[in-house]
Amino acid sequence: MSKPAMQLVNLKKTIGNKPIIKGLDFEIRAGEVFGFLGPNGAGKTTTIRMMVGLIDITEGDVLIEGKSIKTDFKGAIQHVGAIVENPEMYPFLSGWKNLKQYARMVEGVTDERIKEVVSLVGLEKAIHEKAGRYSLGMRQRLGIAQALLHGPSILILDEPTNGLDPSGIREIRKYIRNLAEKENVAVIVSSHLLTEIELMCDRIGVIKNGELIAIEEVRTVENEEALKEVYIEVEPMETAKTYLDTHLPNAVGVGSKELSMSVKREEIPQILKNLMEQGISIYGVRVLQATLEDKFFDLIGENSIE
């Protein structure tokens, strides 16, 4: 078990009398991609703003590499690279000059390092154009470059694939995975795009109304014993139904072209074999995966902003 790169300790934020974040307790380990998932207004951005010291922490603390963002801001924040909300840049400066601005604010970022980061995010061609002319995708890349300049051990990306085209998304995803696996960077990705999170993250924390309602591994081992929804396209349908009813009482539904049933994974081959022996033609079989999306909606229910 690797040591936590970032720890949230009973983190709370109250604005006026209204509790916005109601006590978050979790940690992000080095080398993992942590998905921070929640509907709009759940408190994702507020939490991220507290992580990087943009807003005051009402109660609790954020520890970055063991250092408190409250009491040792410089010690803590030097390990962090971040995009908070949109990747905003100085529109009247070129991409390069934007990066130079941030390079001057920390020690030891050379021009070579800037070039390296620029090629990492694939922005070499446009780097000397004014950032005001960049597309959202290019700004997103520049934002990531800005966050990576000083080689942080924690990278916080708020909606990083926003505005990227599919190939761009795949590149960024690959790149994020690479950072985590090869450079042991802890990456925190917030998103409401569930499929994105699913593809990119090792663990997910789900936040709703300022509370963490679930935290779990994405690649959980498939449960062999669980019943799965299986759809089989057969012909003739009636024969198949009659036959299956005798074997799987009350478990078979009839669709327009498919029969559906809830069975264990291990039962599937036997069922297919039996059907074929009965002279029934099978055109297709699909097993419905419970996707993250289903889990997500199960967890948060209706998207309601209090």
Partner 1 sequence: MSNFMKLIWNEQIKLYAKKATWVMFAVLLVIAIGGGLITKFFGTESDFKEYGDNWQTELQEENAQLTAEMQDEEFGGFMNDMIIAENSYHLENNIKPQPYDGWEYVLENSFLTSVISLFTIIVAAGIISNEFKWGTIKLLLIRPISRTKILFSKYVSVLIFALTMLVFLLLSSWLVGALLFGLNGLNPMVVQDMMPGYAHNDVLGEIAKSYGFSIVTLVMMATFAFMISAIFRSSGMAIGLAIFLMMAGNAIVAFLSQYEWSKFILFANTNLAQYTNGMEPMIPGMSMTFSIIVLLVYFAIFLGAAWAAFTKRDVAGN
80 binds partner 1 (CB under 8 A): yes
What is the crossing angle of helices 111-120 and 136-148, to 10°?
140
Give the DSSP per-residue string, 64-75. Answer: ETTEETTT-HHH
The first and second tokens of residue 65, run together, are 């590499």
The residue from 2, 91, 286, 287 that contacts partner 1 (CB under 8 A) is 91
Under 8 Å between Cβ of 95 and 134: yes
16 binds partner 1 (CB under 8 A): no
Tokens 């990087």 belong to which residue? 52
Which residues from 115-174 bind partner 1, rule CB under 8 A?
Answer: 146
Q: Which stretch binds partner 1 (CB under 8 A): 26-34, 103-111, 112-120, 289-297?
A: 103-111
Tell me how long the chain is.
306
State the minimum distance, in angstroms, from the CB of residue 172 to partner 1. 19
The residue from 102, 231, 260, 285 that contacts partner 1 (CB under 8 A) is 102
Give the integer Cα–Cα distance in Å for 233 and 220. 29
3-state secondary structure of 126: coil
The first and second tokens of residue 280, run together, are 């029934």
3-state secondary structure of 246: helix
State the minimum distance, in angstroms, from the CB of residue 51 to partner 1. 10
Q: Residues 211-250 vs partner 1: string with x where CB under 8 A? A: ----------------------------------------
Q: How many residues lie near partner 1 (CB under 8 A)?
A: 30
Which residues from 20-79 bind partner 1, rule CB under 8 A?
Answer: 46, 49, 52-56, 73-75, 77-78
Give residues with Cβ within 8 angstroms of 208, minimum separation 6. Answer: 38, 39, 42, 299, 300
18 binds partner 1 (CB under 8 A): no
Indicate the residue among 90 and 283 with the shorter CB distance to partner 1.
90
Give residues with Cβ within 8 angstroms of 122, minimum separation 6. Answer: 141, 171
Q: Which residues sit at the interface with partner 1, rule CB under 8 A?
A: 46, 49, 52-56, 73-75, 77-78, 80, 82, 84-86, 88-93, 97, 101-102, 104-106, 146
